Structure 1
Amino acid sequence: MAIKKERIFYYDLLRAFAIIAVIICHVDFYFGNITTPIGIIAKMTFHDIGRIGVPIFLMISGALLLNRDYPSLGDFIKRRFTRIVTPFIFWIILITLTNIHFHKSYAYMWNVFIGNPSIMWYFWTLIGIYLAIPIINIFIKEYGEKGVKYFLAIWFITIILNTFSMYPLFPYFKLDWFAGFIGYPVLGYYLSTKKFNFSDSKMWKIGLLILIVSLAVFVFADKTYGFASLTLMYQNIMIVFMGIGMYLFIEYLDKENKFNSIKNNAIGKAISSISLCSYGMYFSHVIVIMFMSKINPHSNVLFPAMFALTIFLSWLLPYVFSKIPYVKKVSGV
């Protein structure tokens, strides 16, 4: 009889946070008119918190997939690609039908499919990362922590240059293998396996401090200089530090057993369910938001209710599909 693997709660909590963060980035239009400086900063902070979502997803992937023994390259490709491609096909059909319902043009629907403008870019990015994972996995198994530090050092340099739109600094000095999303999985693996010379209690506080400071700097730069528009998406050093801070904060809170009181109650079960449904939610929230936009009151008072309802319905769709025979395999759950 197969032994069911015990779930690691902080991965579930991070994954649940990540999908909610992704949705945060797409619900700004629910707000009413905001004109006060404090209101503008609050709205911007809310949106910028959402930028942590994709990095967290990729960091979890690295923590779970790197430094592993796989039966074969074909087995890895088959397992991982089946897991992400079939739900993509299922959901892109539903999203296309929804776009047809709202009389979107064929050109618009094609752009949605290829990821512009839409959240589908993440799927194509994930394809590229999964193609590279077996190569990086062998590298890490061969060189261990030193290899990880080597990779991350070069990646951090490219991220810093990207942040200030300076990469490539010299036209023929190419670091394209490092200059992109691929560093996030390696970073996630590093943070999950590194033994720091601090107690668990100090580590989650360090993580929280990194998160707060980097978020504050990012919001300030975004408001003052339009910092977010100066860099490629998610290739910004402040977003990297925001991801590091959140990851360490949740990881070490869990290691210090701070979540023991909720793991087995309704809250813990809700977190686990959102985590399991997160990939399906990544697609379903596009459909939910399209329909919700038609009843949007543009009210700051009603914003929390609209936001909560969007999260609930985005979870409900893949959850219900996961209970239907045959459909479960393509639901993303």
Structure 2
Amino acid sequence: MKTKERIFYYDLLRAFAIIAVIMCHVNFYFGPLNTPAGIIFQQTFNNIGRLGVPIFLMISGALLLNRDYPSLGDFLKRRFTRIIYPFIFWMILITLTNMHFHKSYAYMWNVFIGNPSIAWYFWTLIGIYLAVPIINIFIKEYGEKGCEYFLAIWFVFIILNTLNIYPILPHLKLDWFTGFIGYPILGYYLSTKKFNIADSKMWKLGLFILLILFVILIYYPLGDLTSTVELMYQNLPVVIMGIGMFLFIQYLDKENKFNSIKNNAIGKAISSISLCSYGMYFSHVIIIMFMSKINPHSNMLFPAMFALTIFLSWLLPYVFSKIPYIKKVSGV
């Protein structure tokens, strides 16, 4: 069977996304940093971390939408087996770790259902995968115009979410257009849209958008919008930052800027992190729980703790992926 060729900029985006997620969580466990420079540093980590989930979902849309699937059952079986078995495996390990630290049964149940824990993303993926076959048919039928129609309405409600005024009227609820499903459609749209701008200018435009929104969020944080998972990601600044990041990496790749690293150690490391990213999403919880107990609470050692967390979070699923039988549930 012919191996499907990997798209490097998707691997790079996926590697960035998992590192961003871990940034956010390392920041939570090993902070706070109390110096003025430390506060800016921590806010920077927070804002980078917000990009992780949107980028993950945008890549999923770019890869899954406008595709021909043999059957509905085949699609659901393939997608669910890829995420459910690793989820069960890692949740067992996370539960054992919580038991080691004497967490209550109520706490462990809340971790499983995603409150408070990273497991919320798994349940979000379940909902998105259930919707993808429907969205896929819509996009195959209406193409680019269909994407623009959906995204135009999605952006309106993202703006209302950002301003904390959705729903404007109590019975005018269009929750379908306020959810995470907008990110996969956005990712597919950006990956296929032919812009009337030179590629050399597109990556610069993406970088400009990313940096402007990044600086704005550092100095003008969203405040109460970070109080829930939904509002943390479903707000206009984060959406626009996601667009900037996606375009930046996509068009750098089109300009062949990554050719020099694709086949060397850096490129291989990026590909390996990308392949291990789903396992890393769960494994880093275990790593952080143990490392937070030996956290020296030193601003100087914060970057070292972060780098070590990234490495160990990659190493754990990577090692599991080399063990027979466990490989299928390692998330690699």
TM-score (norm 2): 0.97
Who is 2:129 aligned against?
130
Who is 1:260 aligned against?
259
Who is 1:228 aligned against?
226
Who is 1:281 aligned against?
280
Residue 35 of structure 1, CA deviation:
3.0
CA distance in 2 between partners of 1:30 and 1:105 (Å): 23
Cα 1:325–1:16 change in 2 (3 A) is: same
CA distance in 2 between partners of 1:328 and 1:171 (Å): 49
Amino acid at match of 1:279: Y
Who is 2:165 aligned against?
166
Alignment of 1:20-169 (within 5 A): 20-28=19-27, 29-31=29-31, 33-36=33-36, 38-169=37-168
Encode CA deviations 1:211-257: one digit per residue, 9 max, x unaligned. 0111122222217x555349723011000011101000000001100
Amino acid at match of 1:59: M
SS of equivalent to 1:312? helix
Moved more, 306-315 or 211-220: 211-220
CA distance in 1 between partners of 2:260 and 2:212 (Å): 29
CA distance in 1 between partners of 2:33 and 2:255 (Å): 42
CA distance in 1 between partners of 2:32 and 2:224 (Å): 22
Residue 5 of structure 1, CA deviation:
1.3
Encode CA deviations 1:253-284: one digit per residue, 9 max, x unaligned. 01100000000000000000000000000000
CA distance in 1 between partners of 2:104 and 2:227 (Å): 28
Residue 41 of structure 1, CA deviation:
2.1
SS of equivalent to 1:85? helix
Residue 202 of structure 1, CA deviation:
0.3
Query: Is 1:16 aligned with 2:15?
Result: yes
Amino acid at match of 2:68: D
CA distance in 2 between partners of 1:191 and 1:324 (Å): 38
Over the matched positions of the two proteins, sequence identity in percent amounts to: 79
CA distance in 1 between partners of 2:232 and 2:225 (Å): 11
Amino acid at match of 1:26: H
Q: Where does the alignment leave 5 or more consecutive residues of structure 2 unmatched?
A: none
CA distance in 1 between partners of 2:314 and 2:135 (Å): 33
Residue 300 of structure 1, CA deviation:
1.2
User: Would you say the 8 A contact 1:218–1:227 is kept in 2?
Assistant: no
Who is 1:305 aligned against?
304
Amino acid at match of 1:108: Y
CA distance in 2 between partners of 1:295 and 1:171 (Å): 49
CA distance in 1 between partners of 2:110 and 2:224 (Å): 26
User: Would you say the 8 A contact 2:97–2:286 is kept in 1?
Assistant: yes
CA distance in 2 between partners of 1:46 and 1:291 (Å): 21
Aligned length: 330
User: Would you say the 8 A contact 1:61–1:188 is kept in 2?
Assistant: yes
Encode CA deviations 1:18-54: one digit per residue, 9 max, x unaligned. 0000001101232464232x43122112211110000
Encode CA deviations 1:94-149: one digit per residue, 9 max, x unaligned. 00000001100000000000001100000000000000000000000000100000
Residue 305 of structure 1, CA deviation:
1.0
User: Would you say the 8 A contact 2:213–2:241 is kept in 1?
Assistant: yes
User: Would you say the 8 A contact 2:33–2:42 is kept in 1?
Assistant: no
Amino acid at match of 1:42: F
Report the RMSD for the aligned CA atoms in angstroms. Answer: 1.3
CA distance in 1 between partners of 2:184 and 2:67 (Å): 13
Residue 285 of structure 1, CA deviation:
0.3
Who is 1:330 aligned against?
329
Encode CA deviations 1:270-320: one digit per residue, 9 max, x unaligned. 000000000000000000000001110111111111101000000001000
Amino acid at match of 2:34: I
